[in-house]
């Protein structure tokens, strides 16, 4: 393997600029930010309570040194109405409810969000199974209500939806346009009233005559056209019973390995909420969903292999899979990622987050192939008009929401916080730590991505899912692309990516897997937009790491980052790289982030798939009105020629060496309040600068071309107004582990 030994360019102020240091303006470190450019502000309007009354956004003075420019600047975090977006979703009305289910009075949520141990007790003694009656009391009745509602929806509007799709599919096939997948009826068409049923919601509520406010359920199937509505005060908890998540024969869940050589996979487990081939489905409400990945895994089958915190296992899969199932002798080597069988061990079972840490951080760090078989909170594949609205999502065992191939995906005013205070609650009152003894924190709950929207692997023609065991009478067409995606007014704090656009699958050999210009609807200005969000801990707003299918035409604006690990991020490597272009960031406030900007094609040393490199190519990236507060790092890297090693020559790479793809980025009004606190690493980049005070300079050795010049003369008070951008996470009750603070004045 031939690899580049040239180091990346690293810099801090002061730099050898033309202006003498004596004339440079020292920027004060502020607890809130101000200033701004009027560019793009006309498209962002504010309203006081009514979307029919629109007034221009202005930034009132918030400190004695606010300038006139600041007063008229765009103020991040205050926009309540944006005409560039489609209308805000709404909750169903009482008349639109198919069924209402009340929580049992046996399940009462504590203020920290946890259920008391009496609600669903763990194993009572060595080698004992838990009772299904307490481990999973609500799955059957919730699914029955969803199925009944799905059948009613299909009976009322199913024929109209199928007819519209059949007509559109026939027209598209007759047109026979090259390199165009058959999409059938668009999400825009199917959003019209004639395709909406009179009743479509299943509502989970608190008990009307007692304190009950919790439901415990295993995996649920969301039917087409149905809305799962979790009402204010109610919480849907995931069952801790691993048996509920088994995803077919031989798909073992709750492990870090399925054999001595094969790592675990989330695909071994059903998600808590599953939805494939849907039209006009949703999960909404002012209640919450808690996957309880912090809690001890239990089983209703005493012979199912469970890993223990001492790294032993209770049985082997080989013995469990025998006919009839048997108990492997103590001392037998585990085949689920543990060490050896100890059926008499009295230590507690692992939690889902124990498995994630063991698989990702320990076993993967040793062998390069470790992972965990943990269930995800929500997985959706192929849908037209899928909505998440106002719901709170907590403590997923793996990714929270994974939607693929959706035309019309809306995530609006959703809150994701992982871990919450519930992760630290147990009967002893001393937290429920990782098997290592370390207390849960925002950085050791691995693979808890909040939102990972992407394209599907191919176009599909498939019947709609009308219930957990039923489908529509005819098939519908889905082109597999992610289209018309709105991510707005959300609050996100998690242990991994806050939101990551995954360009990992391309349903069409030509074009991009994610393209904001593909089939854009008439009720919005942008096809892929991420706007008006508050991001806390996590990896920020990301593109990648999978970009092999390509990502283009994405608008990211009016977002704030507070104490995040990353702010704006584009990540990939030559095992899963591709083209990323026309990613436009503007009006961004970043405070106390470890890495404010992180654009790199060297995300990992992941092995090639089939030995064929996929070189990352990031270009036409723009940043405008970005303000960085506090100490942070910035990484701006393109792909250097010949890095990644030597490969057998191919038509794409006839020399056997990989070509250079420099990062092409333009920055306008991008500034740090204290530039001396910014550490920059850069290489292989073509950078255009206008009103930038980051320590960016040209370098022949590191192949950095700079158009324009960075300067400490930048007045940060004229860059952007961040004085209202940073707020405490709006937790439910006392569930926020960060606490609350006085608002900066």
| 292-334 per-position pLDDT tens digit | 999 999 999 999 999 999 999 999 999 999 999 999 999 999 9
The residue with greater pLDDT, 123 or 561, is 561
238-242, 560-564, 652-656: which has the minimum mean pLDDT? 652-656
Confidence (pLDDT) at 124: 57
pLDDT band at 593 (very low <50, low <70, confident <90, very high): very high
Confidence (pLDDT) at 38: 31
In terms of phi and psi (left: phi > 0; alpha: psi -120 to 50; beta: otherwise), the region of 390 is left
The average pLDDT across 134-157 equals 98
- pTM for the model stands at 0.91
The average pLDDT across 689-713 equals 97
Residues 640-651: pLDDT tens digits?
A: 987 766 566 777
The residue with greater pLDDT, 113 or 429, is 113
Confidence (pLDDT) at 57: 33
CA distance 115 to 186: 43
CA-angle at 242, arms to 108 and 289, nearest 5°:
40
The average pLDDT across 657-683 equals 95
- Measure CA 203 to chain center: 25
Confidence (pLDDT) at 582: 98
Among candidate residues 367, 347, 433, 375, the one with its CA nearest the CA of residue 247: 375
CA distance 267 to 270: 7
The average pLDDT across 270-292 equals 98
Q: What is the mean pLDDT of the chain?
A: 88
Cβ atoms of residues 421 and 113 within 8 Å? yes
CA distance 444 to 433: 11
Among candidate residues 40, 45, 50, the one with its CA nearest the CA of residue 83: 45
CA distance 21 to 332: 70
CA distance 625 to 635: 18
The β-bridge partners of 263 are 257
CA distance 231 to 202: 10
Which regions of 227-323 does DSSP assign to beta strands (E)? 227-230, 235-238, 273-284, 288-290
Cβ atoms of residues 383 and 406 within 8 Å? yes
pLDDT of 6 over the 60 cut? no
Confidence (pLDDT) at 696: 97
Confidence (pLDDT) at 353: 96
The average pLDDT across 28-41 equals 32
Confidence (pLDDT) at 199: 98
pLDDT band at 431 (very low <50, low <70, confident <90, very high): low
User: What letters, b where the CB count within 10 A reaches 16 and e where it falls short, cover 190-205?
Assistant: bbeeebbbebbbbbbb
pLDDT of 39 over the 60 cut? no
- Measure CA 327 to chain center: 40
Residues 375-409: pLDDT tens digits?
A: 999 999 999 999 999 999 999 999 999 999 999 99
pLDDT band at 212 (very low <50, low <70, confident <90, very high): very high
pLDDT band at 365 (very low <50, low <70, confident <90, very high): confident
Residues 610-669: pLDDT tens digits?
A: 667 788 999 999 999 999 999 999 999 999 987 766 566 777 677 767 889 999 999 999
The average pLDDT across 273-280 equals 98
């Amino acid at each position: 393997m031939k690899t580049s030994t040239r180091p990346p360019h690293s810099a801090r102020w002061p730099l050898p600029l033309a202006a003498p240091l004596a004339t440079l303006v020292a920027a004060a470190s502020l607890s809130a930010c101000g200033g701004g450019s009027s560019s793009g502000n006309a498209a962002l309007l504010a309203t006081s309570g009514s979307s029919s009354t629109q007034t221009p956004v202005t930034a009132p003075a918030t400190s004695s040194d606010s300038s006139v420019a600041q007063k008229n600047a765009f103020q991040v975090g205050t926009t309540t109405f944006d005409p560039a977006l489609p209308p805000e979703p709404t909750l169903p009305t009482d008349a639109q409810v198919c069924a209402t289910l009340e929580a049992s009075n046996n399940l009462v949520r504590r203020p920290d969000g946890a259920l008391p141990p009496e609600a669903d007790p763990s194993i009572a003694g060595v080698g004992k199974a838990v009772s299904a009656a307490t481990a999973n009391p609500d799955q059957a009745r919730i699914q029955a209500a969803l199925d009944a509602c799905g059948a009613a929806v299909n009976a009322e509007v199913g024929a109209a939806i199928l007819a519209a799709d059949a007509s559109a599919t026939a027209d598209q096939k007759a047109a026979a346009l090259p390199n165009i997948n058959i999409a059938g009826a668009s999400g825009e068409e199917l959003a019209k009233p004639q395709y909406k049923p009179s009743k479509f919601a299943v509502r989970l509520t608190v008990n009307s005559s007692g304190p009950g406010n919790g439901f415990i359920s295993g995996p649920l199937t969301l039917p087409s056209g149905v809305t799962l509505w979790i009402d204010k005060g109610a919480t849907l908890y995931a069952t801790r019973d691993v048996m509920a998540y088994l995803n077919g024969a031989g798909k073992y869940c709750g492990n870090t390995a399925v054999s001595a050589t094969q790592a675990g996979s989330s695909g071994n487990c059903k998600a808590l909420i599953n939805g494939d081939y849907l039209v006009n489905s949703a999960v909404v409400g002012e209640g919450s969903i808690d996957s309880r990945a912090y809690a001890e895994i239990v089983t209703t089958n005493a012979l199912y292999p469970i890993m223990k915190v001492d790294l032993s296992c209770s049985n082997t899969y080989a013995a469990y899979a025998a006919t009839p199932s048997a108990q492997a002798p103590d001392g037998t080597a585990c085949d689920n990622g543990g060490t050896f069988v100890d059926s008499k061990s009295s230590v507690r079972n692992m939690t889902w987050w124990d498995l994630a840490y063991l698989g990702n951080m320990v076993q993967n760090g040793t062998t390069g192939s470790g992972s965990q078989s943990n269930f995800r909170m929500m997985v959706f594949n192929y849908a037209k008009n899928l909505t998440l609205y106002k719901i709170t999502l907590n403590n997923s065992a793996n990714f929270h929401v994974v939607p693929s191939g959706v035309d019309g995906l809306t995530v609006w005013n959703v809150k994701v916080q992982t871990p919450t205070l519930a992760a630290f609650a147990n009967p002893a009152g001393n937290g429920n730590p990782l098997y290592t003894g370390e207390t849960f924190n925002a950085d050791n709950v691995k693979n808890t991505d909040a939102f990972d929207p992407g394209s599907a692997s191919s176009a599909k023609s498939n019947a709609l899912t009308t219930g957990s065991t039923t489908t529509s009478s005819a098939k519908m067409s889905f082109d597999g692309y992610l289209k018309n995606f709105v991510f707005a007014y959300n609050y996100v704090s998690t242990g991994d990516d806050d939101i990551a656009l995954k360009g990992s699958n391309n349903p069409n050999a030509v074009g991009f897997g994610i393209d904001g210009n593909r089939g854009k609807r008439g009720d919005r200005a942008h096809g892929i937009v991420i706007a008006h969000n508050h991001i806390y801990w996590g990896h920020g707003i990301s593109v990648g790491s999978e970009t092999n299918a390509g990502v283009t035409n994405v608008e990211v604006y009016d977002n704030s980052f507070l104490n995040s690990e990353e702010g704006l991020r584009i990540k990939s490597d030559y095992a899963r790289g591709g083209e990323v272009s026309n990613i436009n960031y503007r009006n961004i406030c970043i405070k106390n982030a470890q890495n404010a900007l992180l654009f790199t094609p060297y995300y990992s040393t992941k092995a090639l798939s089939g030995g064929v490199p996929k070189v990352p190519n990031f270009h036409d990236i723009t940043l405008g009105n970005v303000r960085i507060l506090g100490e942070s790092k910035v990484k701006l890297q393109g792909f250097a020629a010949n890095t990644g090693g030597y490969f057998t020559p191919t038509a794409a790479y006839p020399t056997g060496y990989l070509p250079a793809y420099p990062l092409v980025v333009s920055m306008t009004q991008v500034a740090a309040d204290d530039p001396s606190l910014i550490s920059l690493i850069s290489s292989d980049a073509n950078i255009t600068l206008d009103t930038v005070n980051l320590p960016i300079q040209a370098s022949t050795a590191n192949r950095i071309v700079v158009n324009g010049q960075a300067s400490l003369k930048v007045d940060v008070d004229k860059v952007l107004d961040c004085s209202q951008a940073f707020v405490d996470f709006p937790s439910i009750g006392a569930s926020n582990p960060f606490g609350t603070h006085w608002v900066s004045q």
